[in-house]
Every structure is written in structure tokens, then in C-alpha cells.
Amino acid sequence: MQAIQSKYLETTKWTRAIFKERFTTINIRIDDFRRFTKDVIVPLFEEVKSRNIASSFYYRLATDFWMGVTFGDIIQLDFSISPYNFKVHLKPLLYEKLNNYYDKKFLNDLDVKEICDKVIQHKTNLEGFDLWELRIISIEDFFIDNLTYIIGKKEVGIIRELSVKSSDCILNEIFKSEVTEATSEQNILDKSLLMYIPVIHSFFEDLEDMYEFSSWLVYKTIYQVKKVDNVHDLQEWKVKKILDANQYFEEQKDTFIGLTEYIFESLANKEDFDERWLNTWVKACFECKDKLLVRNRKERWPTLPFYYLEDETIFIKMAEDRYRHWQGIYFILKMINSQLGITFHSELNLFNALKNSLKTLAGKDKIYQ
């Protein structure tokens, strides 16, 4: 059965109420990211697209933006969908696929018999749903990402468009692939670096800016992983984490630097890549940049709910507009990682590899304390 889109209907107050699309977010507790993505998300999205149920959609591991915590066992599905299509088409389809997927023991351990309306958890307050308390599934209309409070609704909407495209690229290249190695950990880590570089190449003017940003990425990630690991002896832990991350880079140094240099040179020379999906991603990054970096950008920014220099991850002198810009790019990179299933310590290793590769290419030898 084909879904109904509002653009095909005569506009009345009644049709606007039930057929006008809005952002709806579904949080789902999972047992295995890669298996769930292949077995549930891929066929679900294909059917949503073929039946015209939602105009846009993407997935990611759920993330607490303020803490930087990525929930490795919670998938977040985001749809631009009407209340009618959600209730009549999407919800029954999703329930069917989830009930076919889940092992009974997994559900029994969560005290759930089946996925249905009875087990849905709703918002606990006006700020949204507390993912730390998620049992199996929650649904939230008019979801507002915390990044909205930093760069505004308009810019978050633009980044959301990029998130839809990154979702498509990753699903097509990795999770729909018939090649066994496509979902291997090494291939996923390699793809992350391939996707990072077009982002920072689009949004920064030179290698030094890119390197400063990547240095902050490493510092910010260390700070966030520290909170997750509940660290007490900070100095000893920090030194070990940096040494481990640097060792990870040294073990694959030639590969990281060679790959980074190859992508930068190709982008600078405006050459197409052999990988069609990568060309699609590069184009999407440039389109996103053109929409974000406009003359009146500051007019779209809301008043910050805090004094930005009180952010404990800021360790260099920074203007407020630079702070907001960096947060937006950070969100995009976190989105890529969450769609690839990359969390915490692997994320730290990858951001550090990016930083060290840029340092080598820029000829820099800076150490930020």
C-alpha cells in the first residue's frame, strides 16, 4: 500500500494537521549494531522509500551531545514524516521487522513480550527522552537536537540534510554490500577517514586551521572518554590514552598519511575518485558548506545558553563564532562515526590519526597542553 504525501492533497486545516510532515525520532535498544543495521535498517529504509512513507530519513547510534557519549546499544532513527503515514504505515512496518528480528531471550531479559504500542516509552519531561532509562523503544515527535541551542534551527536542518546523505552513502557502500569484508572493523575504520577529510576540506581554509581543529577534536574526545571511564587518576590515564592512540597511528602511519594526502590532492585538483559513493559524499559536503557559510550566518545563531569560554574543552583563545563553527563540524564527524558504529576509544584513535596526518602534511610540530 502506497503512503500519502501532503503535496498531493487539497490543503485544509484537517489535512495540514495529519498530513504535514514533522521530525519524528525513534530510539531502539539493540543487541548488535552491524547485524541490526543489515537486517532491520536496510530493508526498513528500502520499503519506506519505495512506498513513499517519509520524505527523508537517516539512522545513527544515539548520542548525548553535551557529554559526547555515544550509546553503542541504542539506534536512533529519524524521519521527516506525517502523523498519518507514521501511524498507518511506518509503525506497523517497524513493529513487524523488530519482532521478526529480536531473539525472545533478549526481549525477555528486558521484560518485553513483543514490540507494540504498550512498550513505547514517552518523553519524561519537556527536554526530551532520557536515553539512560530506555528499556526497548521510545518515540519522540518534534525532536530537538542539543546542537540547535548553539548554531540554531536553520543550521541544524542543513546538517540534517547532510546526515541523510551520509546515511545513504554508508548503507549503500557497507551494509548493502555482498562483500564479506565490507562490514569488517578495518574497512569501517578506513571509510571513516575517507569521509572525515572531505568534511574538513570543505569547511576550513588551510591545513593549519584543519590541524588546530583536529587537535581540539582529540582533546575534547579525551575529556569525554574520561567521563565515560569514570577516571580518578587523570594524569596517568591521559598519558596512557595518548600513548595508545599514538601507537595506533604509528602502526598504520604510512597508510593514514598516504590516504590523507591522496584525498587532499584529488580534492585540490577537482579530480573524481574511482569510488562513486565518495564522489557523492564530496559533492554533499560542498553543498552543505555553501548553505552554511553565508554572509548572514550569524543572524541565524541563537543566544548561547551558557558562556562559551566556560566549556571545559576549550583550551586555546577562540572567538565565539569560531566556537559555534567548530561545534557544527564536530557534530558532522560524530554523525559519521555513529552511522558507522564507531564509539569512544576507536573514535579517539581515529581523531588522533587524523590530527597526526594533518600535522605531517602541514609540517607542524605543535603540542597543545
Task: Note the pLDDT tens digit of each residue in 208-263.
Answer: 999 999 999 998 888 877 766 776 666 778 888 889 999 999 999 999 999 999 99
Alpha-carbon span 135 to 74, nearest angstrom? 10
Sign, CA dihedral 135-60-124-80, equals negative
- Does position 14 have pLDDT exceeding 60, yes or no? no
Number of H helices, E strands in the chain: 15, 5
pLDDT per residue as tens digits for the range 166-184: 999 999 999 999 998 999 9
Q: What percent of the chain has pLDDT over 70?
A: 87
CA 125 remoteness from chain centre: 24
Q: What angle do CA 202, 339, 56 make, to 5 degrees?
A: 80
Instruction: Return the closest-CA partner of residue 62 out of 86, 33, 34.
Output: 33
Q: What angle do CA 308, 164, 291 make, to 5 degrees?
A: 55
CA 163 remoteness from chain centre: 7
- Does position 322 have pLDDT exceeding 80, yes or no? yes
Alpha helices for 31-118 (secondary structure H): 33-36, 42-50, 83-85, 91-101, 104-109
Output the pLDDT for position 222: 85
Output the pLDDT for position 65: 65
Alpha-carbon span 358 to 365, nearest angstrom? 10
